[in-house]
Structure 1
Amino acid sequence: MGYIEDAVSSFSGWIWGVPLLILVMGGGLIFMLYSRFLPFKYLGHAINVLRGKYDTHEEEGQITHYEALSTALAATVGMGNISGVAVAITMGGPGAIFWMWVSAFVGMATKFFTCTLSVMYRGKDSEGEVRGGPMYVITEGLGKKWKPMAVFFCVFTLIGALPIFQANQLTAAMNAVLGPTVGYNTEATFSLFGAPVGIASFITGLILMALVSMVIFGGIKRISSVAAKLVPSMVVLYFGLVIYILLQNIGGIPDIFASIFEEAFSGSAILGGGIGAVIIVGAKRAAFSNEAGIGTAPMVHGDTKTEEPVREGLVAMLGPAIDTLLVCTLTALVILGTGVHHEFIGAADTGLLGVTLTLKAFNAAIPGVGGYLLGLCILVFAVSSLLSYSYYGVKSVSYLFGAKKGELYNYVYIGTIILGAVASLGFVVNLIDGSFALMAIPTMVSALILAPKVMQATKSYFARHKAGEFKKH
């Protein structure tokens, strides 16, 4: 297993080099400048679209704008914001948060372009259902000769969509929160294929398998329905806890922001130093947090009931603002404000910390109950994320082998929940990072080529909007 972990780590470090950084962040900057910030001027209109003010029942698609954003956010506003921020800080120091912000800001433009395209160039699966996503954007927008790139995207989505990170961090949280309380030994192991496996982690994985199975076999409509109910409540609960903690240290917040800006351009906190390393850490964690440019969100937004592609692009654009600029920032302020991160940043003798670092911060800020309250948030966050990610894999299998075989992915999916529960955090993070990088290549390349089509549709849409063609319901 050690050789596999080393190989995955080496590949993840190599693929997330300067070329991919230019493609993802540079591509987002191109989208922003090319659009002349036009979509950003209509955030109010985007919120009205999200609220269903322009919805009609006759339009093609399977889910509403709100359900699409909720499903996409269920995959991003979750462990990426609680655990991913902690990973970013331990890997790159406070400065990594600044580069997460930069990635999110340009990611808003990326989401607008990629999700507009996912509706503009929708295709049909083997059962005749209207579907969207990068694979259809590539074949419908660029032509059948580009299909190998669409297949490339789907193949690596099958890995990137695995639930191993969510399962890993939820298991770590449950062990940390419940272990001391109920008195079970989280260190106890048994041997499986010659490797030690934690008994407590294995049991948590089995329970997660059962919970997720009850929902994901119902398809996107059931997933989106559950996500639409879970996401708002979990965000409100988490916000309440974070704001309570921040009010205790409100005087120190300016200093926290100062450290973020200072270390963003020094790289002094990261092992080995270097601003380039800090930027890469921030970009990788932002990609995991909001998935802008990766291609997962367009698969959900492409299934929305709308005949106006630009509307879905506007709704999707709200995602990075919510999950990275807002939720990730609040999490970072809690961790940095409590100071629990100091002993771990850049230390060669400590392992990569995720949710356990965030738990330390909450326990420090709210002694006695902080860990339990965060544990409840983590449970809801992780389960909702697990539901959304399954759909990405199902859709990729459906594209590759036919709609009737799409559900087969769910059996693989729930099986790997146990793998995530017992694997090391470093292996899990590197495997997902490497897969996301490979998914981003076809997503960003196709979006950059088809960007003029998006601008044509955007100008037409806003001209009709100004002319009063669209009526609110």
Structure 2
Amino acid sequence: MEVIESFFNGFSAFMWGKPLVALIVLGGLFFMTYSRFQPYKYIPHAFDILRGKYDRFGGHGDISHFQALSTALSGTLGMGNVTGVALAITIGGPGAIFWMWVTAIVGMATKFFTASLAVMYRGYDSKGHLQGGPMYVIREGLGRKWMPLAILFAIAGLVGTLPVFQINQLVQVIRDMVAIPAGLTTADNHFLFDLVAGVLLAGLVLAVISGRIQRIADVTSRLVPLMVVLYFLMTAVLLVLYAGNIPDMLLLIVSDAFSGKAAAGGAIGGVILIGVQRGAFSNEAGIGTESLAHGAAKTDYPTREGLVAMLGPVIDTLIVCTCTALAILVTGVWQGEANGISLTGSAFETAFPGLGGYLLTVMVFFLAISTVLSFWYYGSKCTGFLIGAEREHYYSWFYAALVVIGAIVSLKTVVGLIDGMYAVMAIPTMTSTLLLAPRVMERARIYFHNLDQEEAAAQVD
């Protein structure tokens, strides 16, 4: 098992190495310059789309623009926003946060292109239902000769979105911060508690996923705004308490980004690499999973969904991840021995003694559950593509079983495989998006031209 664990961890380290970082970042920079920054100018229009101004026009698809973004965000707003940010600071120093910001800004362009393609090249599954996602973009946009690339994405997506890590971490947080202090279980003998928690979580997940994408979208469209507001309020109170430290910490983030003094080894390249890795893992720009959600949007205008998707990195990385980073930095806990989720927990416990752990547990519960729900949808779509949509229902029971297993078993052996396969998804996603980028801009220029004409006419009236 140690050999297998070492192999999978090596696989993960290789996949999240410099070549993938270059593909994601340089690809995003290409999309920014190729589009001449046009999509960024229409961000206000994206908010109009999001609040339902154009929903009355309908179109093909299953869910609204707002529900599509909520479903996509529920997949990105997860443990990466709590644990990932802490790891970025622990390994790469405060400067890694700056490069996470850069990745988010660049990732907005990537999201525009991938989400636009998810609507442009939707395809029918074996049951005749219209679906979106990178595998359909490849099949419909590039042709059957590219099918191996589509199959690669589906296989990587099936493995990379398994719920074991999120559930394992969630149960650990509930156990360590609530159950053990309350005397419900002990640190040495917690199997029964973990099993009961796993069964309850599996039941909750099954209850939601039985309604498929419509129910998931309904739940996430309520859950995601609640999570963002709750987390923002928590960190806002914390930052008010430590307001005097904020300017120095912001300056430290920027200065350390170019000096690397706080990073292991003091290498600037290491700071950039860690920041980009955690940023990509956080907002998923270029990975492709979010395209599965945006491809279900009820619209016949690909550019609209592309603009909506651009808001994802803003909310996920520029707002939520920044809240976590500042909470860790201004409280000073980043200079201690804690790491990972314990570091974030220490920050809140420092600001709210006796209450911080419980607040973080509530947030982690919402973050983990929302991610698990979206990951089921992504995995089921990949399953349907590989073995037929009529067999998709088997995946739900398999998924629920993994929720229980993830709660009771230490899964260090497979975490490397899951992380590595998550990274593999970027290869077919970015390859197909780069090849099809001219078609995205062709449609986008027409849409932006017509929109400008409509706005000019409205001003005259």
Q: If the TM-score is normalised by the length of the shorter chain, which range does it land in? A: over 0.9
Q: Deviations over 1:320-345 (max 9, x none)?
A: 01110111001110011111121238
For residue 111 of structure 2, give the secondary structure of its aligned residue in structure 1. Answer: helix
Alpha-carbon contact 1:219-1:391 (below 8 Å) kept:
yes
Q: Are 1:234 and 2:220 an aligned pair? A: no
- Structure 1 residue 58, shift from structure 2 partner: 4.3
After TM superposition, the structure 1 stretch with the greater mean CA deviation from structure 2, 459-468 or 305-314, is: 459-468
Q: Are 1:147 and 2:140 an aligned pair? A: no
Residue of structure 2 equivalent to 1:208: 201
Residue of structure 2 equivalent to 1:399: 385
The share of aligned pairs that are identical, in percent, is 52
Distance 1:246 1:62, change over 3 A: same
Distance 1:430 1:273, change over 3 A: farther
Q: Are 1:307 and 2:300 an aligned pair? A: yes
Q: Deviations over 1:274-301 (max 9, x none)?
A: 2233222222221221111000000110
- Structure 1 residue 253, shift from structure 2 partner: 0.7
After TM superposition, the structure 1 stretch with the greater mean CA deviation from structure 2, 13-22 or 243-252, is: 13-22
The residue correspondences of 1:110-125 to structure 2 (distance < 5 A) are 110-125=110-125
The residue correspondences of 1:173-252 to structure 2 (distance < 5 A) are 173-189=173-189, 198-252=191-245
Residue of structure 2 equivalent to 1:37: 37
CA distance in structure 2 between the partners assigned to 1:331 and 1:142 by the alignment: 40
Q: Are 1:454 and 2:440 an aligned pair? A: yes
Distance 1:301 1:418, change over 3 A: same
Residue of structure 2 equivalent to 1:92: 92
CA distance in structure 2 between the partners assigned to 1:52 and 1:470 by the alignment: 21
- Structure 1 residue 263, shift from structure 2 partner: 2.4
- Structure 1 residue 312, shift from structure 2 partner: 0.2
- Structure 1 residue 269, shift from structure 2 partner: 3.2
- Structure 1 residue 198, shift from structure 2 partner: 4.6
For residue 353 of structure 2, give the secondary structure of its aligned residue in structure 1. Answer: coil
Q: Are 1:158 and 2:158 an aligned pair? A: yes
- Structure 1 residue 436, shift from structure 2 partner: 1.9
Residue of structure 2 equivalent to 1:193: none
- Structure 1 residue 423, shift from structure 2 partner: 5.3
- Structure 1 residue 124, shift from structure 2 partner: 0.7
Q: 270, 279, 304: which one pairs with 2:272?
A: 279
What is the letter of the counterpart of residue 89 of structure 2? I
Residue of structure 1 equivalent to 2:450: 464
- Structure 1 residue 235, shift from structure 2 partner: 1.4
Moved over 6 A (4+): 469-472
Question: Where in structure 1 are there 5+ consecutive unaligned residues?
Answer: 190-196, 346-352
Residue of structure 2 equivalent to 1:253: 246
The residue correspondences of 1:371-386 to structure 2 (distance < 5 A) are 371-386=357-372
Residue of structure 2 equivalent to 1:262: 255
Q: Deviations over 1:104-154 (max 9, x none)?
A: 111000000000001011111111111111001101111110001000000
Q: Are 1:289 and 2:275 an aligned pair? A: no
For residue 467 of structure 1, give the secondary structure of its aligned residue in structure 2. Answer: helix
Distance 1:35 1:248, change over 3 A: same
Alpha-carbon contact 1:118-1:302 (below 8 Å) kept:
yes
After TM superposition, the structure 1 stretch with the greater mean CA deviation from structure 2, 144-153 or 460-469, is: 460-469
What is the letter of the counterpart of residue 164 of structure 1? V
CA distance in structure 1 between the partners assigned to 2:250 and 2:409 by the alignment: 34
**Number of residue pairs matched?**
458
Alpha-carbon contact 2:2-2:413 (below 8 Å) kept:
no
Alpha-carbon contact 1:54-1:471 (below 8 Å) kept:
no
CA distance in structure 2 between the partners assigned to 1:88 and 1:32 by the alignment: 25
CA distance in structure 2 between the partners assigned to 1:92 and 1:424 by the alignment: 27
Residue of structure 2 equivalent to 1:416: 402
Residue of structure 2 equivalent to 1:437: 423
Residue of structure 2 equivalent to 1:76: 76
Residue of structure 2 equivalent to 1:108: 108
CA distance in structure 1 between the partners assigned to 2:171 and 2:293 by the alignment: 27
CA distance in structure 1 between the partners assigned to 2:359 and 2:353 by the alignment: 11
Alpha-carbon contact 2:28-2:106 (below 8 Å) kept:
yes
CA RMSD across the alignment:
2.1
- Structure 1 residue 250, shift from structure 2 partner: 0.9
After TM superposition, the structure 1 stretch with the greater mean CA deviation from structure 2, 53-62 or 240-249, is: 53-62
CA distance in structure 2 between the partners assigned to 1:185 and 1:229 by the alignment: 32
CA distance in structure 1 between the partners assigned to 2:51 and 2:260 by the alignment: 42
- Structure 1 residue 422, shift from structure 2 partner: 4.5
CA distance in structure 1 between the partners assigned to 2:84 and 2:195 by the alignment: 23
Alpha-carbon contact 1:398-1:405 (below 8 Å) kept:
yes
CA distance in structure 1 between the partners assigned to 2:457 and 2:375 by the alignment: 35
Q: Are 1:6 and 2:6 an aligned pair? A: yes
CA distance in structure 2 between the partners assigned to 1:430 and 1:280 by the alignment: 18
CA distance in structure 2 between the partners assigned to 1:185 and 1:273 by the alignment: 43
CA distance in structure 2 between the partners assigned to 1:253 and 1:63 by the alignment: 40
CA distance in structure 2 between the partners assigned to 1:471 and 1:222 by the alignment: 40
CA distance in structure 1 between the partners assigned to 2:369 and 2:298 by the alignment: 26
CA distance in structure 1 between the partners assigned to 2:269 and 2:394 by the alignment: 41
Residue of structure 2 equivalent to 1:358: 344
After TM superposition, the structure 1 stretch with the greater mean CA deviation from structure 2, 123-132 or 268-277, is: 268-277
Question: Where in structure 2 are there 5+ consecutive unaligned residues?
Answer: none
**More helix per residue:** 2
What is the letter of the counterpart of residue 137 of structure 1? V
CA distance in structure 2 between the partners assigned to 1:395 and 1:327 by the alignment: 28
CA distance in structure 1 between the partners assigned to 2:247 and 2:412 by the alignment: 32
What is the letter of the counterpart of residue 414 of structure 1? A
After TM superposition, the structure 1 stretch with the greater mean CA deviation from structure 2, 167-176 or 285-294, is: 167-176
